[in-house]
Structure 1
């Protein structure tokens, strides 16, 4: 009996796929779970859409990818994130020698419209949003967002061991963006309110628990964002509101009340004061036009 011929493997393709997998694994190593998930998703979308291994990508390929994202209706902010991830992948690959030419270096990143001012509520609106929340846990979550200036992922990751005393009040140890840690001091009333909500929870338990057993007792960032949105609509505010808006409000209101910008930068966990300075222009207290009336 004549045996069927053994199919010949394209060794170049096999090698390319192996190199790409190796590149992605090295690239995401040591990053947070959320970052790894995003990076793998975006790189998978890119390579699947173009149909090439990472070391064969050209600038034209990347521009086609960017155009496709726009045609699919992704927001400028989302496209900016996707392209930043792609550029990060190719830059890393070039540094490690797994990619000979970094085509991403010449890829333009979309410039988003500055809508920060539209995401900053007045102090009265923030207080109204908090006071109108009927759920004690949710109301306390809103207070921590506002008074501590946290990101959603940072709040969801808080355990009771991260809350400690500091003189008469207390502080939170925050595990932030880029796996950086920082300490945020709390107003005394908020610290006491958190302590009173603890009950018999252990040190490794989440400060804010999820009611869903499927989440392992930890809040989901998407659920928290929706929580703020529902609360905002309840009091007649924008239906586009999110948990991050309360972080923006913290920054703007603190600066308006005289907080030093370097201190705000430390509290928010920004890499530089330059990032924090955007809040100086978002809701100005004065403008030259006011002198013309």
Structure 2
């Protein structure tokens, strides 16, 4: 439930001097990306409104379970319920870790199971190539290639500066700052490296790799709009998002024989089990093929 960063933070602040729920929430949010902080703030605010601003130390397991059931009755999607409940469980777990809460009352409450739709969010190799090839703008085309070839998250790409890219034996590598303050280095292909260097021109080391017209970092919202437009141009159906390119990277790499631990390291998955989901989403064989015709 807690990231490695949160575990370390909890060990430092165990038996902390936090006096209020707001102080605990601020400590829990520390180190998360701006996007994640805003999302978690909304989720926790929704929970606090549901329990009528009861102090967290007075929250019971029944409150957390009732919160989950209420969202079901209100017609929220399973993914929305899972996200909000995950935030509540994470906060309560962190509260116990630092000694602010005596018991983690959220631990016994399970997240509702969602229908697995990963296979629906993986593009074919030809769809990815078409998506990139039909993009008329140089920056956008290179950005689509970067998302696919590195498998990075949109938020990770948006914060990159040129100083995070370094030459490496004729090619290059990029340092990616991921979730939970985890850092990973990803090798780039020769073709992608050369195209990036050509695109850079005279940009300074502190300049954004992918910038807006004003010269600032692109926002994830900007990137998602670009990907949706590219998918429409390529005739790809579905609610295509930038994250589909990350899914496609993992699936295609595994299908072509990349070691699962290498894919895990490249994508920054905390567990190899997460990477393994792509093997199940697009199996290479089926027992159905062995049945009599």
**Same fold per superposition (TM over 0.5):** yes
Distance in 2, Cα, partners of 1:71 & 1:233 = 35
Corresponding residue for 2:7? none
Q: Number of aligned pairs?
A: 274
Corresponding residue for 2:91? 89
Is 1:229–1:239's contact at 8 Å kept on the other side of the alignment?
no
**CA distances 1:25-75 after superposition (whole Å, capped 9, x unpaired):** 222223333332222222122112211121111222222322333344432
Q: Which protein, 1 or 2, shows the higher relative CO under an 8 Å CA cutoff with sep ≥ 6?
A: 2
TM-score w.r.t. structure 2 length? 0.88
What's the offset of the Cα at 1:288? 1.5
Please say which structure displays the higher CA radius of gyration. 1
Corresponding residue for 1:277? 276
2:143 is the alignment partner of 1:144: no
TM-score w.r.t. structure 1 length? 0.88
Is 1:43–1:86's contact at 8 Å kept on the other side of the alignment?
yes
Distance in 2, Cα, partners of 1:111 & 1:74 = 14
After the TM superposition, which parts of structure 1 deviate over 4 Å for at least 4 consecutive aligned residues? none
Corresponding residue for 1:187? 189
Corresponding residue for 2:290? 291
Flag structure 1 segments of 5+ consecutive residues without an equivalent: 1-16
**CA distances 1:163-214 after superposition (whole Å, capped 9, x unpaired):** 1111011111100111111111111011000000112211111100023x4x
2:134 is the alignment partner of 1:132: yes
Corresponding residue for 2:13? none
Distance in 2, Cα, partners of 1:96 & 1:265 = 30
Distance in 2, Cα, partners of 1:30 & 1:142 = 28
Distance in 2, Cα, partners of 1:116 & 1:149 = 15
Is 2:31–2:180's contact at 8 Å kept on the other side of the alignment?
no
Distance in 1, Cα, partners of 2:98 & 2:182 = 24
- Find the partner of 2:116 among 114, 117, 130: 114
SS in 2 for 1:104: coil
Distance in 1, Cα, partners of 2:140 & 2:148 = 12
Which of 263-272 and 231-240 deviates more? 231-240
Flag structure 2 segments of 5+ consecutive residues without an equivalent: 1-17
2:228 is the alignment partner of 1:226: no
Which of 161-170 and 68-77 deviates more? 68-77
SS in 1 for 2:249: helix
Is 2:166–2:172's contact at 8 Å kept on the other side of the alignment?
yes
Is 1:233–1:239's contact at 8 Å kept on the other side of the alignment?
no
